[in-house]
Amino acid sequence: MDNANEVISFTCNDCGSKKLIVLDKYWTTKKFERVDKKNLKVYQGRLIEEWERVGELGDDHRVTWDNRAEPGAVEEEIDDWYDIDESELHKYRKRNVYQKPITDEQTREVYILCWGCKRDIEFGWSHENRGGGIWPVESPDFNPRQKWPEPRYRESWKEKGWLMP
Ligand SMILES: [Zn+2]
């Protein structure tokens, strides 16, 4: 950076807004095992939850989240089940066992929107796999070197010759 003390802000070419909104929508999957004591059955399946959070992107390329992600739609898939004997019930004292949720990065949707005119702003990340800071391509300090595109913009970066070999 030329001058470390200078704050380089994004300014929208269309509406002049300096504020950028970040929208992060993702799905998590939790494997579970559930016991139906009455019918002596054990169900194995997955609980798929939809999450959404909103934040603001700072000049430091970091996000300040306005809210904690809240689960939205919940979907349950039963993959398998088996019968148990009444004498085995003691082994299933804990009725429902849920594993740690895993975020599905393939279906994750991240958007950067201009706060003023709500248009989609193309962006990349400073690290692979959506890691590190978020860099809108319209930021005055944007440089495609050492940046990874948000997957949705991969083709656009390819056309511009920005993809790293
Ligand atoms: Zn704008």
CA 123 to centroid of ligand 1, rounded, Å: 15
- pTM for the model stands at 0.80
Side chain identity at residue 51, one-letter code: W
In three-state secondary structure terms, 68 is coil
Cα 101 from chain centroid (whole Å): 13
Q: pLDDT band for position 7 (50/70/90)?
A: low
Per-residue pLDDT reduced to its tens digit, 42-55: 999 999 999 999 99
Least confident of 86-90, 108-112, 152-156: 86-90
**pLDDT value at position 132?**
95
CA 36 to centroid of ligand 1, rounded, Å: 54
Q: What phi and psi values does residue 139 have, to the nearest 5 degrees?
A: -70, 140
* Other beta carbons within 10 Å of 57: 24
In three-state secondary structure terms, 51 is strand
**pLDDT value at position 95?**
72
CA 64 to centroid of ligand 1, rounded, Å: 19
* Other beta carbons within 10 Å of 1: 7
**pLDDT value at position 93?**
76
**Would you state the torsion angle of the CA atoms of residues 130, 133, 135, 141, taken in this order, to the nearest 10 degrees?**
-150
CA 111 to centroid of ligand 1, rounded, Å: 14
pLDDT at 153 over 50: yes
Q: What phi and psi values does residue 117 have, to the nearest 5 degrees?
A: -110, 0
Per-residue pLDDT reduced to its tens digit, 93-149: 777 888 999 999 899 999 999 999 999 999 999 999 999 999 999 999 899 998 999
- Alpha helix locations (H) across 68-122? none
Domain parsing of the chain, residue ranges = 20-159
CA 18 to centroid of ligand 1, rounded, Å: 8
pLDDT at 41 over 60: yes
CA 9 to centroid of ligand 1, rounded, Å: 13
**pLDDT value at position 5?**
53
pLDDT at 2 over 70: no
Residue 32's nearest CA partner among 116, 102, 130, 103 is 102
**pLDDT value at position 1?**
45
Burial class (CB in 10 A: 0-12, 13-18, 19+), 158: exposed
